[in-house]
Amino acid sequence: MARYTLWEAVAPCWHEPLIRSGMPADPTPQQVAAWRASPRGRAVRPEVVEAIARRAQGESVSSIAADLGLGRRNLSTRLSTGVPALLEPWIEDVASWKLGREQGRSTAELADLYGVPEHLITVALDGWPDSSPAAEDVAAAALQLWRDGLDLDDIAAELEVPPARLRRWVQEGSVRLTPARLRTSQIVERFGWSPHMAVLYRESGVLPAPDGGKPPWWWSTTIARLERDTLTHRCEECGARLASAKGVAIHRGRVHGPAA
Protein backbone atom coordinates (compact mmCIF):
# COMPACT_ATOMS: atom_id res chain seq x y z
CA MET A 1 0.00 0.00 0.00
CA ALA A 2 1.17 3.51 -0.81
CA ARG A 3 2.00 5.87 2.03
CA TYR A 4 0.79 9.44 1.85
CA THR A 5 1.88 12.92 2.82
CA LEU A 6 -0.63 15.11 4.61
CA TRP A 7 -1.26 17.06 1.40
CA GLU A 8 -1.96 13.87 -0.53
CA ALA A 9 -4.27 12.50 2.15
CA VAL A 10 -6.31 15.51 3.21
CA ALA A 11 -9.13 16.69 0.89
CA PRO A 12 -7.87 19.49 -1.40
CA CYS A 13 -10.50 21.87 -0.04
CA TRP A 14 -8.50 22.00 3.22
CA HIS A 15 -5.19 23.02 1.68
CA GLU A 16 -5.95 26.74 1.68
CA PRO A 17 -7.52 26.83 5.18
CA LEU A 18 -4.52 24.95 6.56
CA ILE A 19 -2.13 27.39 4.89
CA ARG A 20 -4.09 30.31 6.34
CA SER A 21 -3.73 28.72 9.77
CA GLY A 22 0.07 28.71 9.42
CA MET A 23 0.73 25.32 7.83
CA PRO A 24 3.35 25.44 5.03
CA ALA A 25 2.12 24.31 1.62
CA ASP A 26 2.75 20.59 1.06
CA PRO A 27 4.49 20.32 4.43
CA THR A 28 7.10 17.80 5.47
CA PRO A 29 6.33 15.58 8.49
CA GLN A 30 8.61 17.81 10.56
CA GLN A 31 6.68 20.91 9.51
CA VAL A 32 3.37 19.22 10.34
CA ALA A 33 4.67 18.38 13.81
CA ALA A 34 5.93 21.95 14.29
CA TRP A 35 2.53 23.34 13.23
CA ARG A 36 0.77 21.14 15.75
CA ALA A 37 3.17 22.17 18.51
CA SER A 38 2.97 25.90 17.82
CA PRO A 39 0.57 27.80 20.15
CA ARG A 40 -2.05 29.76 18.24
CA GLY A 41 -5.16 29.69 20.45
CA ARG A 42 -7.30 27.72 18.00
CA ALA A 43 -10.22 26.93 20.37
CA VAL A 44 -13.44 26.27 18.45
CA ARG A 45 -16.71 27.51 19.93
CA PRO A 46 -19.27 24.83 20.84
CA GLU A 47 -21.82 26.05 18.28
CA VAL A 48 -19.21 25.72 15.53
CA VAL A 49 -18.33 22.20 16.69
CA GLU A 50 -22.04 21.36 16.42
CA ALA A 51 -22.29 23.05 13.03
CA ILE A 52 -19.32 21.04 11.69
CA ALA A 53 -20.93 17.78 12.80
CA ARG A 54 -24.26 18.73 11.21
CA ARG A 55 -22.64 19.95 8.00
CA ALA A 56 -20.73 16.65 7.79
CA GLN A 57 -24.09 14.85 7.86
CA GLY A 58 -25.20 16.73 4.74
CA GLU A 59 -27.17 19.66 6.19
CA SER A 60 -26.85 22.89 4.24
CA VAL A 61 -25.04 25.91 5.60
CA SER A 62 -28.23 27.98 5.32
CA SER A 63 -30.34 25.62 7.40
CA ILE A 64 -27.65 25.28 10.09
CA ALA A 65 -27.09 29.05 10.20
CA ALA A 66 -30.82 29.72 10.54
CA ASP A 67 -31.17 27.15 13.31
CA LEU A 68 -28.19 28.49 15.27
CA GLY A 69 -28.99 32.16 14.65
CA LEU A 70 -25.78 32.77 12.70
CA GLY A 71 -25.20 34.54 9.39
CA ARG A 72 -24.61 32.18 6.46
CA ARG A 73 -21.39 33.83 5.29
CA ASN A 74 -20.10 34.08 8.84
CA LEU A 75 -20.83 30.41 9.46
CA SER A 76 -19.10 29.38 6.22
CA THR A 77 -15.95 31.15 7.42
CA ARG A 78 -16.16 29.53 10.84
CA LEU A 79 -16.58 26.09 9.28
CA SER A 80 -13.54 26.65 7.09
CA THR A 81 -11.33 27.66 10.01
CA GLY A 82 -12.92 25.27 12.51
CA VAL A 83 -12.09 22.01 10.77
CA PRO A 84 -8.28 22.56 10.73
CA ALA A 85 -8.48 23.56 14.40
CA LEU A 86 -10.44 20.43 15.33
CA LEU A 87 -8.00 18.27 13.33
CA GLU A 88 -5.01 19.62 15.24
CA PRO A 89 -4.73 16.76 17.79
CA TRP A 90 -4.80 14.19 14.96
CA ILE A 91 -3.18 16.15 12.11
CA GLU A 92 -0.23 13.75 11.96
CA ASP A 93 -2.63 10.79 11.68
CA VAL A 94 -4.59 11.99 8.62
CA ALA A 95 -2.26 10.19 6.19
CA SER A 96 -2.70 6.99 8.22
CA TRP A 97 -6.48 7.35 8.00
CA LYS A 98 -6.27 7.36 4.23
CA LEU A 99 -3.96 4.37 4.24
CA GLY A 100 -6.23 2.55 6.67
CA ARG A 101 -9.23 3.20 4.45
CA GLU A 102 -7.34 1.73 1.49
CA GLN A 103 -6.53 -1.32 3.61
CA GLY A 104 -10.25 -1.88 4.08
CA ARG A 105 -10.84 -0.40 7.50
CA SER A 106 -14.20 1.29 8.00
CA THR A 107 -14.53 4.85 9.25
CA ALA A 108 -15.97 3.51 12.50
CA GLU A 109 -12.92 1.29 12.98
CA LEU A 110 -10.54 4.15 12.30
CA ALA A 111 -12.46 6.42 14.66
CA ASP A 112 -12.25 3.85 17.43
CA LEU A 113 -8.56 3.18 16.78
CA TYR A 114 -7.51 6.84 16.80
CA GLY A 115 -10.10 8.18 19.25
CA VAL A 116 -11.49 10.70 16.78
CA PRO A 117 -15.11 11.49 15.80
CA GLU A 118 -16.15 9.57 12.69
CA HIS A 119 -17.43 12.64 10.89
CA LEU A 120 -14.08 14.40 11.31
CA ILE A 121 -12.29 11.57 9.50
CA THR A 122 -14.79 11.72 6.65
CA VAL A 123 -14.58 15.51 6.33
CA ALA A 124 -10.78 15.48 6.51
CA LEU A 125 -10.42 12.89 3.74
CA ASP A 126 -13.42 13.73 1.55
CA GLY A 127 -14.35 17.35 2.28
CA TRP A 128 -17.93 18.43 2.86
CA PRO A 129 -20.75 16.35 1.43
CA ASP A 130 -22.44 17.99 -1.54
CA SER A 131 -25.70 19.45 -0.25
CA SER A 132 -26.33 21.46 -3.40
CA PRO A 133 -29.83 21.02 -4.80
CA ALA A 134 -30.55 19.67 -8.26
CA ALA A 135 -31.33 21.97 -11.18
CA GLU A 136 -35.06 21.25 -11.06
CA ASP A 137 -35.11 22.12 -7.35
CA VAL A 138 -33.70 25.62 -7.84
CA ALA A 139 -35.08 26.59 -11.27
CA ALA A 140 -38.08 28.56 -9.98
CA ALA A 141 -36.14 30.31 -7.21
CA ALA A 142 -33.27 31.16 -9.58
CA LEU A 143 -35.73 32.68 -12.05
CA GLN A 144 -37.31 34.85 -9.36
CA LEU A 145 -33.92 36.04 -8.11
CA TRP A 146 -32.87 36.79 -11.69
CA ARG A 147 -35.99 38.89 -12.20
CA ASP A 148 -35.27 40.63 -8.90
CA GLY A 149 -32.02 41.82 -10.50
CA LEU A 150 -29.39 39.57 -8.86
CA ASP A 151 -26.42 38.48 -10.95
CA LEU A 152 -25.46 34.83 -11.40
CA ASP A 153 -22.85 34.74 -8.65
CA ASP A 154 -25.27 36.23 -6.12
CA ILE A 155 -28.00 33.80 -7.19
CA ALA A 156 -25.57 30.89 -6.79
CA ALA A 157 -24.61 32.08 -3.31
CA GLU A 158 -28.25 32.53 -2.31
CA LEU A 159 -29.15 29.03 -3.48
CA GLU A 160 -25.90 27.43 -2.25
CA VAL A 161 -25.00 26.17 -5.72
CA PRO A 162 -21.43 26.43 -7.08
CA PRO A 163 -21.39 29.33 -9.59
CA ALA A 164 -19.82 27.17 -12.32
CA ARG A 165 -22.57 24.59 -11.88
CA LEU A 166 -25.32 27.23 -12.14
CA ARG A 167 -23.74 28.63 -15.31
CA ARG A 168 -23.61 25.13 -16.79
CA TRP A 169 -27.30 24.61 -15.98
CA VAL A 170 -28.14 27.90 -17.68
CA GLN A 171 -26.10 26.98 -20.76
CA GLU A 172 -27.72 23.54 -20.92
CA GLY A 173 -31.20 25.03 -20.50
CA SER A 174 -32.07 23.11 -17.34
CA VAL A 175 -32.34 26.48 -15.57
CA ARG A 176 -33.96 29.16 -17.73
CA LEU A 177 -33.37 32.80 -16.78
CA THR A 178 -35.68 35.11 -18.71
CA PRO A 179 -35.87 37.71 -20.02
CA ALA A 180 -32.29 37.94 -21.24
CA ARG A 181 -30.03 40.80 -20.18
CA LEU A 182 -28.10 42.85 -22.73
CA ARG A 183 -24.89 44.75 -22.09
CA THR A 184 -23.97 47.98 -23.86
CA SER A 185 -21.68 46.18 -26.31
CA GLN A 186 -24.49 43.82 -27.32
CA ILE A 187 -26.89 46.71 -27.91
CA VAL A 188 -24.32 48.57 -29.99
CA GLU A 189 -23.71 45.48 -32.10
CA ARG A 190 -27.42 44.74 -32.45
CA PHE A 191 -28.31 48.19 -33.79
CA GLY A 192 -25.07 48.97 -35.66
CA TRP A 193 -24.27 52.09 -33.65
CA SER A 194 -20.91 53.80 -33.64
CA PRO A 195 -19.35 54.43 -30.21
CA HIS A 196 -20.20 58.12 -30.62
CA MET A 197 -23.85 57.34 -31.32
CA ALA A 198 -24.07 55.03 -28.35
CA VAL A 199 -22.76 57.77 -26.04
CA LEU A 200 -25.08 60.34 -27.62
CA TYR A 201 -28.14 58.13 -27.20
CA ARG A 202 -27.20 57.28 -23.62
CA GLU A 203 -26.74 60.95 -22.69
CA SER A 204 -29.90 62.13 -24.46
CA GLY A 205 -32.09 59.41 -22.97
CA VAL A 206 -32.91 57.66 -26.24
CA LEU A 207 -31.33 54.62 -24.68
CA PRO A 208 -33.26 54.31 -21.41
CA ALA A 209 -31.62 54.07 -18.01
CA PRO A 210 -30.16 50.62 -17.32
CA ASP A 211 -32.42 48.10 -15.64
CA GLY A 212 -29.57 47.15 -13.31
CA GLY A 213 -26.03 45.97 -12.90
CA LYS A 214 -22.45 47.18 -12.73
CA PRO A 215 -21.53 47.23 -15.58
CA PRO A 216 -25.03 48.20 -16.66
CA TRP A 217 -27.46 45.88 -18.39
CA TRP A 218 -30.96 46.14 -19.90
CA TRP A 219 -33.70 43.54 -20.09
CA SER A 220 -34.18 42.27 -23.62
CA THR A 221 -37.83 43.36 -23.33
CA THR A 222 -36.70 46.94 -22.64
CA ILE A 223 -34.52 46.92 -25.76
CA ALA A 224 -37.30 45.31 -27.83
CA ARG A 225 -39.61 48.23 -26.90
CA LEU A 226 -36.86 50.69 -27.81
CA GLU A 227 -36.45 49.03 -31.20
CA ARG A 228 -40.19 48.95 -31.87
CA ASP A 229 -41.19 52.41 -30.62
CA THR A 230 -38.12 54.63 -31.02
CA LEU A 231 -35.57 53.26 -33.50
CA THR A 232 -37.80 53.80 -36.53
CA HIS A 233 -35.11 55.01 -38.97
CA ARG A 234 -32.69 52.73 -40.79
CA CYS A 235 -29.37 53.36 -42.55
CA GLU A 236 -29.74 52.16 -46.16
CA GLU A 237 -26.06 51.22 -46.37
CA CYS A 238 -25.65 49.03 -43.29
CA GLY A 239 -29.11 48.66 -41.79
CA ALA A 240 -28.27 50.41 -38.49
CA ARG A 241 -31.36 51.32 -36.47
CA LEU A 242 -31.59 54.93 -35.31
CA ALA A 243 -34.10 57.27 -33.68
CA SER A 244 -34.29 60.06 -36.29
CA ALA A 245 -33.34 61.14 -39.78
CA LYS A 246 -30.75 63.42 -38.19
CA GLY A 247 -29.30 60.42 -36.39
CA VAL A 248 -29.05 58.56 -39.68
CA ALA A 249 -27.19 61.51 -41.21
CA ILE A 250 -24.75 61.68 -38.29
CA HIS A 251 -24.24 57.93 -38.45
CA ARG A 252 -23.60 57.93 -42.20
CA GLY A 253 -21.13 60.78 -41.94
CA ARG A 254 -19.14 59.15 -39.14
CA VAL A 255 -19.35 55.53 -40.27
CA HIS A 256 -19.61 55.62 -44.06
CA GLY A 257 -17.98 58.98 -44.83
CA PRO A 258 -19.40 61.92 -46.82
CA ALA A 259 -21.73 61.13 -49.68
CA ALA A 260 -20.08 61.07 -53.09
Domain-wise residue ranges, the chain: 6-126, 135-172, 181-256
CA 156 from chain centre, in angstroms, equals 6
Predicted model pTM: 0.59
List, for residues 174-193, the tens digit of each pLDDT value: 999 999 999 999 999 999 99
Q: How many CB atoms lie within 10 A of CB 42?
A: 15
Integer Cα distance of 105 and 92 in angstroms: 18
**Element housing 134 (H / E):** none
In the chain, what percentage of residues exceed pLDDT 70?
Answer: 97
What b/e readout covers 19-31, taking b as 16+ CB neighbours within 10 angstroms?
eebebeeebeeee
The pLDDT value given to residue 61:
87
Q: How confident is the model at residue 81 (pLDDT cuts 50, 70, 90)?
A: very high
User: pLDDT averaged over the chain?
Assistant: 92
Q: Give the mean pLDDT of 1-28.
A: 91
Are the CB atoms for 182 and 164 separated by under 8 Å?
no
The pLDDT value given to residue 157:
83
The pLDDT value given to residue 144:
97
The total number of residues shown for the chain amounts to 260
The pLDDT value given to residue 42:
65
Strand partners for 242: 233
The pLDDT value given to residue 76:
87
The pLDDT value given to residue 41:
62
Which of 203 and 160 is assigned the larger pLDDT?
203
Q: How many CB atoms lie within 10 A of CB 228?
A: 9
